[in-house]
Amino acid sequence: MSTELKAQEQLITVETTKAVASMQDVLLKLGQAQAFNFASKLLTVGELKILGEVKESKGYKGLTYKNEDGKLLTVSSWDECCKYILGTSRQHIDEKLSNIQLFGEQFFEAAQQMKLGYRDLRALRQLPNDAQALIIESEAIETGDKEAVKELIDDLKAQHKKDLDTEKKNTKEADEQLKVAIRMRDEYQMKAMDYQTELESTKFKADAWVDQTKHLLFEATKYESNAVESLSRLIALREHFLDDDNLAPQVTEYLAAGLLHSFKTLAEDFAQAWLETSNILEGYLPKMRPSLDVLQELNDSAMSNEE
């Protein structure tokens, strides 16, 4: 037999020995786990840690079991390992592993000793982190007062539901307000298009230029006033926001983001409109005056002509 062949055989022997040793370790752990009283559903932290190690290592793969028909099969999943090797459900084990990770070993042991039920722990998992902390760190846990713990969970669960209902109501109202705002914006855009069409149909007549000029300047002044009013309302809203010290951080964040966008959009739209208008009417820039002054001048001129 060649030296190379002997070396391969030795390598195979070593690998096989390692595999057998690993399997023996898993079998030992599972043997310990099988000795647990699953019927009582009171697994200790130490016992669950063993199961957690087996689950993470996936060393259960390759173990054999007999199914309901007596057929010899190989374990290929954690679900099969729990069902056929440990004789319990995967959900039962995973839920307890999750509870240890979420609530901590000390609370888990206390909950087991008090025999807190599945529904109680499930309700606890559904609570916000701050509510969970209130229960985990409560005096009732330290004293092992099961009824006090259950009552505290129920109270915080009811409060959490109330908070969620309030949040849903506020969200619904906000959605409705958003729909109104979108509809108003669309209506304003439609009115602007209608006004543009109306202006396009208006033609200046040589003998009526004064009245037409007055009309258009009056329209310009009116819309300028509307724009100034909208800006003033935005500024008032900003000052109200800044003066309110009782807003929650999340509310402050949303309001700040929305106000910044509103001011930015307004500034960009007016800046763009000004650039376009000043470029188109560049030759008239030296004659630029407020519409109200021009209207006053037209009125004065009309009155002097009548005299």
pLDDT tens-digit readout, 12-55: 433 434 443 444 455 555 555 544 444 345 567 888 888 888 88
- What is the C-alpha to C-alpha distance for residues 219 and 221, in angstroms, rounded to an integer? 5
pLDDT for the residue 88? 83
Residue 195: its pLDDT value, please?
67
Residue 18 has a pLDDT of 44
Cβ-contact 83, 89 below 8 angstroms: yes
Backbone region of residue 61 per phi and psi (left: phi > 0; alpha: psi in -120 to 50; beta: other values): beta
Taking each helix axis from N to C end, the angle separating 105-114 and 45-57, rounded to the nearest 10 degrees, works out to: 120
Rounded to whole angstroms, how far apart are CA atoms 72 and 87? 16
For residue 304, the model assigns a pLDDT of 67
CA 50, distance to chain mean position in Å, is: 36
CA angle 258/264/266 to nearest 5° reads: 100
Task: Report pLDDT for 199.
Answer: 62
Residue 51 burial (C-beta neighbours within 10 Å; 0-12, 13-18, 19+): buried
Cα three-residue angle 28-30-35, rounded to 5 degrees? 100
Distance, CA of 235 to CA of 232 (rounded, Å): 5
Q: Which residues have C-beta within 8 Å of that of residue 278, sequence separation ≥ 6?
A: 285
Taking residue 47's Cβ as centre, other Cβ atoms within 10 Å add up to 16
Q: Given this model, what pLDDT does residue 1 score?
A: 47
- For residues 162 and 131, the answer to whether their CB atoms sit within 8 Å is no
CB 126 within 8 A of CB 164: no
Kindly give the parts of the chain with pLDDT less than 70: 1-43, 178, 195-196, 198-209, 302-307
Question: What per-residue confidence (pLDDT) applies to 14?
Answer: 37
CB 120 within 8 A of CB 110: no
